[in-house]
Amino acid sequence: MGASKAQKAVLAGIVEEMFDDAGNWLGVE
């Protein structure tokens, strides 16, 4: 269960980063 928790944390970080990049690309702060 600990591994899946860590996996979710990593995935959440990647998704957050993707939204960050998409926002920058769209010119949204």
Helix (H) or strand (E) holding 6: helix 2-26
The pLDDT tens digits for 8-29 are 999 999 999 998 888 887 776 5
In the chain, where the domains are located: 1-29
Higher-confidence residue: 2 or 17? 17
Give residue 27's pLDDT: 76
Q: Are the CB atoms for 29 and 23 separated by under 8 Å?
A: yes
Coil, helix or strand at residue 1: coil
Q: How far apart are CA 17 and CA 27, in angstroms?
A: 15
